[in-house]
Amino acid sequence: MPTFLFYGQFLENMMNLIMCPVCREKLSLVEKTWQCENRHSYDVAKQGYVNLHVVQHKHSKTPGDTVESVQARRAFLSAGFYAPLQQAVVEKLRQLRIENLLDIGCGEGYYTAAMQSEVLQCVGVDIAKNAVQVAAKLNPEVTWVVGTGATLPVLDQSIDLCSSLFSPIPQQEILRVLKDKAYLLVVTPAPEHLFALREALFEEVKPHEPNKFVQQLASDFDLLESQVVSAELQLPQQQLKNLVAMTPYAYKAKVERRSALEALAEFRVTAQFQLYLFQKK
């Protein structure tokens, strides 16, 4: 096949992934606007993302993470504290040798931007517009989308791998968009994740229970691999504050406990991540 024909077919296949949230027909990119055959159109923002979270699907004016949480996460992750997890996820994709992926709950894009290097097309979706605005500056090769897990913004059976890193798992939507025998990569806190931090913030602390996701998904997915990744963190005061601010602990902990913890000059804690690789039955 001539090179220019192959490239044209490749571009068409890329554009075929994205779905109109109103009529569920495919969207095609014409200059800087995504359009469907029913003339619904969505402009690409100057930052490089498209907003497919239509008003009728919204339950609040500003859903998702707060601006403060996104800024804290960007500062913390860009310092490399969770680099072992990012590297493990990228290596898993390298082994699978897939063509495309959909990252559900991409947030500010730290993992998504890295995963893009291992696939032909990468779509990152998050309900928080402010997070996607930040993410879009990281890697222009990713198709960044503001959208919701309740209606994932891609066509039926179009995706080789869905990833959900510390994000919800909309099981029925994932089943809809995955191809036959395609993959689901889940990352969730392992039992001892940030245990010392949680002990400092809460009176009662229990180990995380990542196995609940295996049970939840068992009817539709086979578990192929299970891996725990750990990182020993020595945090200066400002990065300790960032870590707290980017987690749900920021609003769940009592003010006096959070203040006492954040007054420390430095803090040592272990991050522990559970990776699961599933395959659609």
- Gap between the Cα atoms of 122 and 31, Å rounded: 19
Beta bridge partners of 126: 146
pLDDT at 2: 37
pLDDT tens sequence across 78-107: 999 999 999 999 999 999 999 999 999 999
The CATH H-level superfamily of 47-280 is Vaccinia Virus protein VP39 (3.40.50.150)
- Gap between the Cα atoms of 111 and 139, Å rounded: 11
Annotated binding site for S-adenosyl-L-methionine, which residues?
A: 82, 108-109, 193
pLDDT at 38: 97
pLDDT tens sequence across 9-47: 444 555 579 999 999 999 999 999 999 999 999 999 999
Mean pLDDT for the chain overall: 92
Among the listed residues 34, 27, 183, 199, the one whose alpha carbon sits nearest the alpha carbon of residue 103: 183
pLDDT tens sequence across 119-151: 999 999 999 999 999 999 999 999 999 999 999
For residues 143-171, average pLDDT: 96
pLDDT at 64: 63
The rounded percent of the chain whose pLDDT value lies above 90 is 89
pLDDT at 61 over 60: no
- Gap between the Cα atoms of 144 and 126, Å rounded: 8
pLDDT at 58: 46
For residues 145-158, average pLDDT: 95
Location of structure tokens 């995706």: 159
pLDDT at 16: 76
For residues 49-61, average pLDDT: 71
Task: Report the Cα 196 to chain-centroid distance in Å.
Answer: 25
Angle at CA of residue 121, ends 93 and 161, nearest 5°: 45
Annotated binding site for Zn(2+), which residues?
A: 20, 23, 36, 40
pLDDT tens sequence across 65-75: 899 999 999 99
Annotated binding site, which residues?
A: 20, 23, 36, 40, 82, 108-109, 193
3-class DSSP assignment, residue 120: coil
